[in-house]
Chain A
Amino acid sequence: MDLSEEKELVRQAQKDPDAFAELYDQYYPKIFGYVLRRTANLEAAQDITSETFLKALRKLWQFRWRNISFSSWLYKIAANEISQYFRKAEYKKSVSLEELQEQGFEPISPYDPESELIEAQEKLKQYQDFLEIQGKIVRLPAKYQEVITLRFFEQKQIKEIAEILGEKEGTIKSLLHRAVEKLREAD
């Protein structure tokens, strides 16, 4: 999908549920993957991803293609939620699916979350190199964690990282350099 097509889809998604569904299908894997690679925790990744899309849905009518692309906007929401997760001892799970259902949000088809999680956790264990590096990254200051994961795990360009984090490109380059240095010292 090119930029103009995505702009049109985002515009429609502000009012049309089908358009929102299409946007969601496109971005769920990216956001879930990003959150998982930042947290290495599947349960947290579920909760944070749910919260991200709920906030995106609520704020979608405010979104304007001005200073930031839709993708960066979505990543920005996810990054903020991840920061909250790391800051608080207990992440506020106001939008776990169970709580959403209590608030009257009804899923159409029930699923077995436990089995799905167990299976996914077994898969995650296979990525030992990743888990080792990720374990060191999470001990870095938050800004360093963000730039390293966005650059190397999400393959984002400097410009996009700057959009997501709301910093200048020069700042991002500088942060990235220092982050890698810090990680190297921790190695």
Chain B
Amino acid sequence: MKHEKLIQKLENLETPEIELPGHKQALKMTLLGSGHFRERTIMDWAKILAPVSAAVVLIAVVGFFNVIQPQLHIAQAKGIALNDPQVQELIEDYELAITEVKLRDGEAFVLLAPELEANSGRGIFSESEPLGPIPGEAGNTSPGELVPGYILKVDLLEKKVSEFGEIDEVIALKDMNIEDIDFAKFESSEGAAPDEADPE
């Protein structure tokens, strides 16, 4: 048989058009009676909630690490500084207060300054004799010398004030170049030998 004749035969061939109405109906009812459409709704919600939940978790994590955790560290640094007896003495003697705390590279920097003079760009003259040498340093101040403020470096892991530096001009920590500060070791009285400690 030639190619074209076979094509003609195929095109004219009567093919069976048989239906099984019972099977058609039974299958339909069975498919519709399945839990598919209910399951799909639950899946719809899962598809919506999954990215929303993921976004909420992401925002919470980012928020925690960028907002909440820094705030916790700042509060912790303040607490460590205020609990240090030497810092308390400085605050009392020079009428200083913690005016700012800054976190940088895992370290906390606490600015001690006269509360009213903070950010004014001016220092104050000490009106009285300095009470004694600054902790860890031989006395190097004299009456009338400018004592504007201090920057304390707080070790959050050791939970102590580790270093301190004097500043000539009280400005906001964000405007200050901390690298230019000459930090000295801060020796708390807690670390003093028993015979050097204040008998009271």
Which A residues lie at the B interface, using CB under 8 A? 14-17, 20-21, 24-25, 28-29, 32-33, 36-37, 42, 46, 49-50, 53-54, 57-58, 61, 97, 100-101, 104-113, 116-117, 120, 123-124, 127, 129-130, 133, 148, 152-153, 180-181, 183-184, 187
Contact = CB atoms under 8 A, between A and B. Distances in A.
Contacts of A14: 40
22 contacts: A15-B41, A28-B28, A32-B20, A36-B18, A37-B15, A42-B18, A46-B23, A53-B27, A61-B43, A112-B22, A113-B26, A127-B14, A127-B15, A129-B13, A130-B15, A130-B16, A133-B13, A153-B15, A180-B7, A184-B3, A184-B6, A187-B1
Contacts of A24: 28, 31
Contact of A127 (B11, B16, B40, B44): B16
A58 B2 CA distance: 46
B193 interface: no
Interface of B: 1-3, 6-7, 9-11, 13-34, 36-37, 40-41, 43-44
A122 B89 CA distance: 110
Contacts of A106: 29-30, 33
Contacts of A37: 15-16
Q: Which of A20, A28, A106, A130 is most buried by chain B, counting CB atoms within 10 A of its CB?
A: A28
Contact of B29 (A33, A50, A108, A187): A108
Q: Which of A25, A36, A112 is most buried by chain B, counting CB atoms within 10 A of its CB?
A: A36
B28 A116 contact: no
A17 B36 CA distance: 9
Contacts of B33: 105-108
B32 A17 contact: yes
A33 B31 contact: no
Contacts of A54: 31
A14 B40 CA distance: 8
A36 B29 CA distance: 22
Given A42-B18, A130-B15, A184-B3, 19 more contacts: A24-B28, A24-B31, A28-B27, A46-B20, A53-B27, A57-B31, A57-B34, A61-B40, A97-B27, A105-B30, A107-B26, A107-B29, A111-B22, A113-B26, A116-B22, A127-B14, A129-B13, A129-B14, A184-B6
A48 to B, nearest CB: 12
